[in-house]
Structure 1
Amino acid sequence: MANPQRGEIEAVIGGERRVLCLTLGALAELEARLQAGDLVGLSERFAGGRISARDLTAIIGAGLRGAGNAIADDDLARMAIEGGLKGAAEVAARLLRATFGEAVE
Structure 2
Amino acid sequence: MPNPHRGDVEAIIGGRRYTLRLTLGALAELEAAFAVENLDALGRRFASGQLGARDLVRLLGAGIRGGGTPLSDEEVAALPLGDGLEPIATAIANMLERCFSSGGDASPRP
Query: Is TM (by shorter chain) over 0.5?
Result: yes
Q: Which residue of 2 aligns with 1:96?
A: 96
1:39 CA drift (Å): 0.4
- Structure 2 CA distance for aligned equivalents of residues 3 and 81 of structure 1: 25
Structure 2: tracts of 5 or more residues without a match: none
- Structure 2 CA distance for aligned equivalents of residues 3 and 93 of structure 1: 17
Equivalent residue letter for 1:23: T
Paired residue secondary structure (2:36): coil
Paired residue secondary structure (1:84): coil
Q: Which residue of 2 aligns with 1:59?
A: 59
1:88 CA drift (Å): 2.0
Equivalent residue letter for 1:47: A
Q: Which residue of 2 aligns with 1:36?
A: 36
TM-score by length of 2: 0.87
Which has the larger share of helix?
1
- Structure 2 CA distance for aligned equivalents of residues 60 and 19 of structure 1: 10
1:1-105, aligned counterparts within 5 Å? 1-81=1-81, 83-101=83-101, 102-103=105-106
Of the structure 1 ranges 95-104 and 52-61, higher mean CA displacement relative to structure 2 is found in 95-104
1:14 CA drift (Å): 3.3
- Structure 1 CA distance for aligned equivalents of residues 82 and 18 of structure 2: 11
Of the structure 1 ranges 28-37 and 74-83, higher mean CA displacement relative to structure 2 is found in 74-83
Equivalent residue letter for 1:50: Q
TM-score by length of 1: 0.91
Aligned-pair Cα RMSD in Å: 1.4
